[in-house]
């Protein structure tokens, strides 16, 4: 059987080449990988490194243990010893590669580069933090990047008086996150008598998951010896060099007589999903060459570079005239020249990865080529804003949990409108001839939006701003964001926007319905509260993709996807967790087209194309459906720009055309629509 990565997607040549390789090998020459990756995630100071040391080396917690910088790798751990010490007989000759990720906030976004579905995850919490809800953010991060990959939640430091302080709703979490295998408690304290039994329980759970969980079946599947040889060479090289030029990878393949370019792509894709290398842009020609030409062997090479840039910008934030800005030339000063050579495409790779959609840490300042802004390093202090609050429009988002980095990503997303007034948790934008203040209040889990300007332009400005926020919401996964309308005289109080829409639609009173919100000093009519926000946000609410889950005996998931007004329904059956991500991207493209300033003809064609892409996605494997949705996003962004860029347009169109051709007649209409759009935009 071929590895899933080798046969997924529309790369027909890669599939055929891999098929010939595997079926051309004698059965006795095929060998199972018997190697898996364990990724350990969690916030700072929860005891991840101590847990790994106890798990692997049977060593108790070291009080002098330093913080983990980036990621600590422990390779080829023999877990058969764990199985042998189990009271029940277990067989597991798998070698485990353990990645212990640093928990500091500064690293959180970079973790996304290294998460894949073909891994086992530990999310480590601290038993003493009764109100700790960070696990929700970690679970959503895994779900957005790796679907329902098997995940074990470990409540560490479960000793003494804090043994049972943190309690989790296991059944509720498992319903929301099907990837959860179990929740266990551990202690790494030598004084805790139950610590050895706790750690053994975790070891047995890991062994059982590696051997029995179907989501890790690749561990047991046979692989062609030539592929294994390339993998072993890369593993050896990782101890000597952190990055690999793509042409060197091609040479390694040719040494094993893997000369077919398509087969090389399939092998690289497989190695990426296994975590042997980090290779981005394999299926997306929009990816900058700086990323596609470099394969990462040591994750610390990238995280250390990013950390160095962020630290340098943060340290200078209060001392320089333009804080959080740096230039490409500054990298020579910031980075170790021996480890990060500009002559080997290192700088391009680092800058491109920092701008990657997965983390969006920086953006190039308009009109200042080679100069970048890193919002996460902006000063923490809020500047004096004498003009705020003033007469204007107010809107708010409430979150179940507001990630600290959300506002930084929003600044990157909305960078075309960003002014010089910006800080770590807030920014003033210039949108549609209006000034817009967007401010995150982390302790309250809210983001406030205030719009000042001509009354007839405020709605448009609010709508554009809200759309940028919605894009960021999709990047972070489900945040439980709720749109709210602050009360005019008491802005600290607010009403649910959706609730106001329901009241407005009431047949009896409708917009004239008058009531007193909880805590309000007076009564308001629904129309009074919706004044200025109703039309713009309502227009967005009417354009959506809804996903309904239907369970089956075969544990498959079907999402009934309805685009637009509900007249066009498309059913998509894909792998768990992937459908939601793909549908969100298609939804975002549909919404962006509808809300843009493009001509009516262009907007109509873009919305039709979104529907056709949903049809194509229904026929694709999860990873390829997601890549097609990415191409639609890029295409829509270009089509709705004031001056679309032909080269970017051509790349995104090719992605959709390739996907359309791979699914046959189902994709024919998408090709026709794309050609019509190109004619309107560039002829």
Q: Which of 20-29, 430-439, 458-467, 586-595 has the lowest mean pLDDT?
A: 20-29
Say whether both 56 and 15 belong to one domain. no
How many Å apart are CA 105 and CA 380, to the nearest integer? Answer: 14
Residue-level pLDDT at 357? 77
Say whether both 288 and 430 belong to one domain. no
pLDDT in tens, 556-584: 333 444 444 443 344 444 443 345 668 87
Eight-state DSSP code of residue 160: G
**Sheet of strand 95-101: strand arrangement:** 71-78, 95-101, 35-41, 120-126, 151-156, 180-185
Stretch 68-96: mean pLDDT? 67
Is residue 383 in some structural domain?
A: no
Let me know: does 668 contact 662? Beta carbons within 8 Å: no
pLDDT at 203 over 60: yes
Is residue 64 in some structural domain?
A: yes
pLDDT at 394 over 90: yes
CATH code of the domain in which 345 resides: 1.10.10.2200
Is residue 387 in some structural domain?
A: no
Say whether both 418 and 563 belong to one domain. no
pLDDT in tens, 98-129: 888 877 776 777 787 788 888 999 999 998 87
Q: Among residues 235, 263, 296, which one ends one of the domains? A: 296
How many Å apart are CA 55 and CA 569, to the nearest integer? Answer: 50
How many Å apart are CA 107 and CA 101, to the nearest integer? Answer: 8
What is the band of 62 on the pLDDT scale with cuts at 50, 70, 90? confident
Q: Which of 223-232, 272-281, 389-398, 662-671 has the lowest mean pLDDT?
A: 272-281
Q: Which residues neighbour 375 within 8 Å (Cβ) at sequence distance 6 or greater?
A: 324, 361, 362, 407, 408, 409, 411, 412, 422, 424, 427
Is residue 384 in some structural domain?
A: no
Q: Is residue 122 reached through a cis peptide bond, with omega within 30 degrees of 0 on the bond before it?
A: no
Residue-level pLDDT at 560? 44
Residue-level pLDDT at 155? 93
pLDDT at 620 over 50: yes
Stretch 182-204: mean pLDDT? 91
Residue-level pLDDT at 311? 84
Say whether both 24 and 131 belong to one domain. no
Residue-level pLDDT at 549? 31
Q: Which of 194-198, 331-335, 646-650 has the lowest mean pLDDT?
A: 646-650
Residue-level pLDDT at 88? 60
Name the residue with higher pLDDT: 597 or 660: 660
Most confident of 28-42, 281-295, 323-337: 323-337
CATH code of the domain in which 254 resides: 1.10.10.10
Let me know: does 530 contact 511? Beta carbons within 8 Å: yes
What is the band of 314 on the pLDDT scale with cuts at 50, 70, 90? confident
Is residue 129 in some structural domain?
A: yes
Residue-level pLDDT at 542? 35
Say whether both 245 and 209 belong to one domain. no
Stretch 74-79: mean pLDDT? 69
Domain range for residue 635?
549-682
What percentage of the chain exceeds 90 in pLDDT? Answer: 26
- State the residue for tokens 């400005």: 461
What average pLDDT does the structure give for the chain? 80
pLDDT in tens, 46-61: 988 899 999 988 888 7
Stretch 206-225: mean pLDDT? 86
Please count the structural domains in the chain. Answer: 5
pLDDT at 543 over 50: no
Is residue 144 in some structural domain?
A: yes
Residue-level pLDDT at 413? 92
- State the residue for tokens 């009764």: 130
Is residue 180 in some structural domain?
A: yes
Residue-level pLDDT at 577? 34
Stretch 301-313: mean pLDDT? 87
Say whether both 48 and 190 belong to one domain. yes
pLDDT in tens, 241-267: 888 888 889 999 999 989 888 788 878
pLDDT at 186 over 50: yes
The total of other beta-carbon atoms located within 10 Å of residue 619's CB is: 19
Say whether both 356 and 284 belong to one domain. no
Taking every pair of Cα atoms in the chain, the longest distance, rounded to a whole number of angstroms, is 82
Closest CA to 406 of 469, 351, 323, 314: 469
What percentage of the chain exceeds 70 in pLDDT? Answer: 81
Name the residue with higher pLDDT: 288 or 30: 30
Q: Among residues 219, 237, 264, which one ends one of the domains? A: 219
pLDDT at 63 over 80: no
Name the residue with higher pLDDT: 205 or 533: 205
Say whether both 215 and 225 belong to one domain. no
Say whether both 668 and 568 belong to one domain. yes
What is the band of 643 on the pLDDT scale with cuts at 50, 70, 90? confident
Residue-level pLDDT at 104? 73
Say whether both 62 and 174 belong to one domain. yes
Residue-level pLDDT at 412? 95
Q: Is residue 389 reached through a cis peptide bond, with omega within 30 degrees of 0 on the bond before it?
A: yes
pLDDT at 325 over 90: yes
Let me know: does 607 contact 564? Beta carbons within 8 Å: yes
* CA terminus-to-terminus distance, the chain: 48
């Amino acid at each position: 059987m071929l590895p899933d990565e080798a046969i997924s997607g529309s790369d027909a040549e890669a599939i055929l080449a891999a098929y010939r390789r595997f079926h051309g090998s004698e059965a006795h020459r095929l060998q199972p990988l018997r190697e898996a990756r364990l990724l350990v995630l969690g916030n700072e100071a929860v005891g991840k490194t101590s847990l790994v040391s106890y798990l692997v080396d049977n060593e108790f917690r070291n009080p002098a243990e330093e913080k983990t910088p980036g990621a600590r790798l422990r390779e080829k751990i023999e877990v058969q010893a764990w199985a042998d010490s189990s009271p029940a007989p277990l067989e597991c000759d798998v070698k485990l590669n353990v990645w212990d990720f640093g928990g500091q906030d500064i690293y959180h976004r970079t973790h996304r580069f290294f998460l894949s579905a073909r891994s086992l995850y530990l999310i480590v919490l601290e038993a003493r933090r009764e109100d700790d809800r960070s696990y929700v953010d970690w679970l959503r991060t895994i779900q957005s990047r790796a679907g329902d990959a098997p995940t074990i939640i470990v409540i560490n430091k479960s000793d003494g008086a804090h043994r049972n302080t943190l309690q989790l709703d296991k059944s509720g979490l498992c319903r929301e996150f099907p990837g959860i295998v179990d929740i266990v408690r551990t202690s790494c304290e030598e004084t805790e008598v139950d610590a050895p039994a706790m750690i053994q329980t975790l070891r047995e759970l890991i062994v059982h998951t590696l051997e029995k969980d179907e989501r890790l079946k690749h561990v047991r599947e046979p692989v062609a010896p030539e592929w294994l040889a390339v993998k072993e060479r890369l593993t050896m090289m990782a101890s000597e060099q952190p990055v690999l030029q793509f042409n060197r990878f091609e040479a390694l393949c040719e040494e094993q007589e893997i000369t077919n370019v398509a087969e090389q792509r399939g092998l690289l894709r497989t190695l990426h999903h296994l975590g042997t290398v980090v290779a981005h842009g394999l299926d997306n020609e929009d990816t900058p060459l700086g990323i596609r030409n470099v394969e990462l062997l040591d994750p610390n090479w990238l995280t250390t570079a990013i950390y160095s840039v962020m630290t340098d910008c943060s340290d200078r934030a209060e001392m320089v005239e333009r804080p959080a800005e740096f230039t490409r030339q500054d990298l020579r000063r910031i980075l170790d020249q021996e480890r990060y050579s500009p002559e080997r495409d290192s700088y391009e790779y680092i800058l491109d990865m920092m701008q990657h959609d997965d983390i969006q840490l920086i953006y190039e300042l308009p009109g200042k080529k080679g100069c970048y802004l890193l919002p996460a390093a902006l000063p923490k202090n809020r500047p004096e804003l004498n003009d705020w609050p003033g007469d204007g429009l107010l809107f708010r988002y409430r979150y179940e949990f507001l990630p600290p980095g959300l506002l930084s990503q929003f600044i990157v997303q909305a960078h075309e409108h960003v002014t010089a007034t910006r800080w770590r948790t807030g920014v003033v934008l210039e949108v549609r001839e209006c000034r817009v203040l967007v401010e995150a209040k982390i302790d309250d889990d809210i983001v406030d939006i205030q719009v000042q300007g001509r009354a007839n332009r405020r709605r448009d400005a609010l709508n554009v701003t809200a759309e940028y926020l919605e894009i960021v919401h999709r990047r972070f996964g489900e945040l439980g964001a709720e749109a709210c309308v602050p009360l005019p005289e008491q802005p600290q109080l607010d009403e649910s926007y959706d609730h106001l829409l329901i009241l407005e639609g009431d047949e009896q009173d409708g917009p004239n319905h008058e009531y007193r919100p909880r805590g309000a000093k007076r009564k308001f009519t629904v129309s009074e509260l919706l004044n200025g926000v109703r039309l713009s946000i309502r227009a967005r609410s009417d354009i959506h993709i809804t996903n309904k889950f239907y369970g089956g005996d075969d544990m498959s998931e079907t999402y009934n996807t309805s685009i637009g007004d509900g007249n066009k329904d498309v059913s998509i059956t894909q792998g768990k967790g992937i459908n939601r991500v793909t549908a969100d991207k298609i939804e975002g493209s549909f919404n962006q087209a509808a809300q843009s300033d493009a001509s009516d003809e262009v907007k109509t064609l873009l919305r039709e194309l979104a529907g056709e892409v949903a049809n194509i996605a229904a026929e694709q494997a999860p990873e390829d459906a997601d890549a097609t949705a990415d191409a639609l996003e890029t295409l829509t962004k270009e089509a709705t720009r004031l001056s679309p860029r032909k080269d970017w347009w051509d790349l995104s169109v090719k992605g959709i055309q390739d996907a359309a051709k791979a699914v046959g007649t189902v994709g024919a209409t998408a090709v026709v629509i794309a050609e019509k759009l190109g004619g309107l935009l560039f002829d």
